Amino acid sequence: MPNTLLTLDQINVNFGPKRVLEGLSFSLQAGEIGCLLGASGCGKTTALRAIAGFEPVAAGRVILDGQQVASSGQEWTPQQRGIGMVFQDYALFPHLNVTDNIRFGLSRLDKVEQKRRVEELLEVVQLTEVANAYPHALSGGQQQRVALARALAPAPRLLLLDEPFSNLDVELRERLNQEVRDILKSRDITALLVTHDQHEAFSLADKVGVMHAGRLLQWDTPYKLYHEPAERFVADFIGEGVFLPAVVTAAGDIEFNADPQLGHRPCWPVCQARPGQAVQVLLRPDDILHDDTSPMQARVVKKAFRGAQFLYTLSLPSGQTVLSLVPSHHDHAIGEAIGIRLEIDHVIAFGV
């Protein structure tokens, strides 16, 4: 039986007269990794700060492990909440070495237990060899791991991570993403991170919430966010794709009326559209397959090499544009016509 560790229930946060979070609601199960994803200024950091107890809520409730830790006028202090936090700039103590940085939050333990715990964490984050080094002598990735070990040391009920990889180069980010996920999962730690990078969100988190202008638009698995976006904004924000105009037929099918060669599709679930209604259908690059034998032709207008694949931008005879991911040994020139085939598992359409 899953145990809910964190619930945000209709949280509002204001800065003076300005409302920066509105009606934020989601839950995290124990051991789950969640992520708030959104553009700069959408309120991600404010949400983390409200959970940690650094920002009061104007309305709604924060429930941690069954206890209400925040509501309007009733706030537990950050210390009372027992939440660990990893900041964007790591906030390591420059005058303390790695061991003492990690030991910092362990003063309530006796010396022997402190030593045992620090050694264990040094091993977990693979920093035993630099245990006596000072932060300035560490690489960005090593500093990030010290910050993680320090936050984990007091065994917090929940770990919050604010853009934890933003200062690192892309390659290191990807490696650390996986490392951090492995560490959190192996210790069954519940964590919530915020990022504006969807690749990071997808590779680290079990559940991702897309935020926009202080609101949470969808809280779901990465798979569902990509394949079943609940709103047009989410569909646009997550992944690549195009929208093609279509109409719902009397039989309830989707008909690409501007592009007859794309034909009809049985439509599911199609946002409660009525027969005759105009809709925009989301087509992802993986919905359009390259097929030499297909009579349906499209012209290559752009191509981006991605190692194993090309992302082709293709122009249909109607002038509409679609994207297609194609294994990169199919190297076609700009201007060339290639055969394509639609393979849509289910149709995602939004009313216009």
Residues in the site for ligand ATP, rule: CB under 6 A?
15, 20, 38, 40-46, 196
Please, what is the minimum distance in Å from the beta carbon of residue 283 to ligand ATP?
29
Nearer to ligand ATP by Cβ, of 157 and 196: the residue is: 196
Nearer to ligand ATP by Cβ, of 41 and 275: the residue is: 41
Name residue, tokens 């104007």: 58
- Is 69 exposed, middle or buried, given 0-12, 13-18 or 19+ CB atoms closer than 10 A? buried
Residue 129, amino acid: E
Nearer to ligand ATP by Cβ, of 45 and 198: the residue is: 45
Which ranges of the chain would DSSP assign to H, the alpha helix? Answer: 44-52, 78-81, 98-103, 111-124, 140-152, 170-186, 198-204, 222-227, 232-237
Residue 25, amino acid: S
Please, what is the minimum distance in Å from the beta carbon of residue 91 to ligand ATP?
15
Nearer to ligand ATP by Cβ, of 177 and 313: the residue is: 177
Nearer to ligand ATP by Cβ, of 19 and 341: the residue is: 19
Please, what is the minimum distance in Å from the beta carbon of residue 42 to ligand ATP?
4
Integer Cα distance of 334 and 235 in angstroms: 28
Tokens of 245: 């105009």
Nearer to ligand ATP by Cβ, of 46 and 99: the residue is: 46
| H or E element at residue 23 | strand 18-29
Residue 289, amino acid: L
Please, what is the minimum distance in Å from the beta carbon of residue 195 to ligand ATP?
8
Please, what is the minimum distance in Å from the beta carbon of residue 232 to ligand ATP?
21
* Rounded (10°) CA dihedral 42, 46, 47, 52: 160
Please, what is the minimum distance in Å from the beta carbon of residue 18 to ligand ATP?
6
Nearer to ligand ATP by Cβ, of 210 and 248: the residue is: 210
Please, what is the minimum distance in Å from the beta carbon of residue 102 to ligand ATP?
26
Beta strand pairing call for 158-162 and 83-86: parallel
* Rounded (10°) CA dihedral 25, 4, 79, 120: -130
Integer Cα distance of 304 and 324 in angstroms: 11
Residues in the chain: 352
Integer Cα distance of 48 and 29 in angstroms: 17
* Rounded (10°) CA dihedral 50, 56, 62, 65: 80
Cβ atoms of 343 and 284 within 8 Å: the answer is no
Phi then psi dihedrals of residue 293, to 5 deg: -90, -5
Please, what is the minimum distance in Å from the beta carbon of residue 228 to ligand ATP?
24
Please, what is the minimum distance in Å from the beta carbon of residue 22 to ligand ATP?
11
Nearer to ligand ATP by Cβ, of 196 and 341: the residue is: 196
Cα-only R_g, the chain: 24
Nearer to ligand ATP by Cβ, of 45 and 99: the residue is: 45
